[in-house]
Amino acid sequence: MEIAPAEIERVALAALRRAGVPEAPARQQVALLLEAELRGYPSHGLLRLPRIVERIANGVVDPESRGEAHWRGGALLAVDGRRGLGPVVALAALDTICERARETGLALAAIRDCDHLGMLAWYAEEVARRGQVLIALTISEALVHPFGGRRAMLGTNPVAIGVPAEPAPFVFDMATSIVAMGKIHDHAVRGEPIPAGWALDAAGNPTTDAAAAKQGALAPFGGAKGYGLALAFEVLVASLTACALGPEVRGTLDSEHPCNKGDVFIVVEPAAGMAQAITGFLDAVRASPPAESGRPVRVPGDRAAAARAAALGRAIAVAPAVWRRLLVLAGEVRDVAGDAAQDLARDEAGAGRAA
Amino acid sequence: MEIAPAEIERVALAALRRAGVPEAPARQQVALLLEAELRGYPSHGLLRLPRIVERIANGVVDPESRGEAHWRGGALLAVDGRRGLGPVVALAALDTICERARETGLALAAIRDCDHLGMLAWYAEEVARRGQVLIALTISEALVHPFGGRRAMLGTNPVAIGVPAEPAPFVFDMATSIVAMGKIHDHAVRGEPIPAGWALDAAGNPTTDAAAAKQGALAPFGGAKGYGLALAFEVLVASLTACALGPEVRGTLDSEHPCNKGDVFIVVEPAAGMAQAITGFLDAVRASPPAESGRPVRVPGDRAAAARAAALGRAIAVAPAVWRRLLVLAGEVRDVAGDAAQDLARDEAGAGRAA
pTM score = 0.94
How many angstroms separate the first and last alpha carbons of chain A? 25
Whether B329 contacts chain A with CB within 8 A: no
Average pLDDT value over all residues in chain A: 92
Measuring CA to CA, how many Å separate A290 from each of A284, B153, B207, B220?
Answer: 12, 12, 16, 15
Whether B304 contacts chain A with CB within 8 A: no
Q: With CB atoms and an 8 Å threshold, state whether A272 touches B78.
A: no
Cα–Cα dist B334/B26, whole Å: 22
What is the CATH number assigned to the segment(s) A68-268?
A: 3.30.1370.60
Task: Please name every residue paired with A156 in a beta bridge, in sequence order, or none if there are none.
Answer: none
Cα–Cα dist A122/A32, whole Å: 7
CB B45 within 8 A of CB B30: no
Whether B5 contacts chain A with CB within 8 A: no
What mean pLDDT comes out for the span A52-64? Answer: 96
Cα–Cα dist B245/A68, whole Å: 40
Is A68-268 in the same CATH topology as A2-61+308-351? no
Distance of residue B232 Cα from the nearest chain A Cα, in angstroms: 7
Chain A: residue whose CA lies nearest to B176: A225
Distance of residue A324 Cα from the nearest chain B Cα, in angstroms: 35
Q: Which residues of A touch B104 (CB under 8 A)?
A: 73-76, 104
Contacting A residues, span 150-169, partner chain B, CB-CB under 8 Å: 150-151, 153-154, 159, 161, 163-165
| Per-residue pLDDT band at A98 (split at 50, 70, 90) | very high
| Cβ-nearest to B235 among A101, A170, A240 | A170
**pLDDT at residue A180 in the model:** 83
Measuring CA to CA, how many Å separate A128 from each of A91, B226, B271?
Answer: 14, 22, 27
Share of chain A above pLDDT 70, in %: 94
Q: With CB atoms and an 8 Å threshold, state whether B153 touches A288.
A: yes
CB A32 within 8 A of CB A46: no
Burial label for A65, CB within 10 Å (0-12, 13-18, 19+), is: buried
**B219-258: per-residue pLDDT in tens?**
999 999 999 999 999 999 999 999 999 999 999 888 999 9
Chain A: residue whose CA lies nearest to B276: A239
Domain boundaries, chain A: 2-61+308-351, 68-268
User: Best of B229, B233, B239 to disrupt the A interface by mutation (most A CBs within 10 Å)?
Assistant: B239
Contacting A residues, span 88-117, partner chain B, CB-CB under 8 Å: 101-108, 110
Neighbours of A318 (CB within 10 A): 20
| Selection from A19, A22, A21, A349 nearest residue A188 by Cα | A349
Distance of residue A119 Cα from the nearest chain B Cα, in angstroms: 16
**A77-89: per-residue pLDDT in tens?**
999 999 999 999 9
Fold (CATH) for A2-61+308-351: Hypothetical Oxidoreductase Yiak; Chain: A, domain 1 (1.10.1530)
Whether A14 contacts chain B with CB within 8 A: no
Burial A200-236 (b: 16+ CB within 10 A, else e): bbeebeebbebbbbbebbbbbbbbebbbbbbbbbbbb
Cα–Cα dist B348/B355, whole Å: 12
Cα–Cα dist B161/B133, whole Å: 7
Q: With CB atoms and an 8 Å threshold, state whether A146 touches B242.
A: no
| Selection from B206, B209, B127 nearest residue B170 by Cα | B127
Q: With CB atoms and an 8 Å threshold, state whether B104 touches A231.
A: no
Which of the 8 DSSP states describes residue A145?
P
Q: With CB atoms and an 8 Å threshold, state whether A285 touches B231.
A: yes
Cα–Cα dist B47/B54, whole Å: 12
Which of the 8 DSSP states describes residue A289?
P
Chain B: residue whose CA lies nearest to A246: B281
Whether A236 contacts chain B with CB within 8 A: yes
**B155-185: per-residue pLDDT in tens?**
999 999 999 999 899 999 999 999 988 788 8
The helix (H) or strand (E) run that includes residue A76 is: strand A76-80
Q: Which residues of B touch A155 (CB under 8 A)?
A: none
ipTM of the complex in this document: 0.94
Cα–Cα dist B63/B87, whole Å: 11
Chain B: residue whose CA lies nearest to A222: B222
Q: Which residues of A touch B110 (CB under 8 A)?
A: 271
Distance of residue A331 Cα from the nearest chain B Cα, in angstroms: 42
Q: With CB atoms and an 8 Å threshold, state whether A268 touches B149.
A: no
Q: What is the pLDDT along chain B (355 residues), one digit of tens a residue?
A: 899 999 999 999 999 999 999 999 999 999 999 999 998 888 888 988 999 999 999 999 999 999 999 999 999 999 999 999 999 999 999 999 999 999 999 999 999 999 999 999 999 999 999 999 999 999 999 999 999 999 999 999 999 999 999 989 999 999 999 998 878 887 887 889 999 999 999 999 999 999 999 999 999 999 999 999 999 999 999 999 999 999 999 998 889 999 999 999 999 999 999 999 999 999 999 999 999 999 999 999 999 889 888 888 899 988 898 899 999 999 998 876 555 555 555 544 444 444 4
Whether A298 contacts chain B with CB within 8 A: yes
Q: With CB atoms and an 8 Å threshold, state whether A289 touches B149.
A: yes
CB A182 within 8 A of CB A51: no
For residue B150, report the phi and psi dihedrals to the nearest 5 degrees.
-120, -15
Whether B276 contacts chain A with CB within 8 A: no
Identify the sign of the CA torsion B118, B121, B124, B125.
negative
| Cβ-nearest to B222 among A163, A221, A273 | A221
Contacting A residues, span 18-37, partner chain B, CB-CB under 8 Å: none
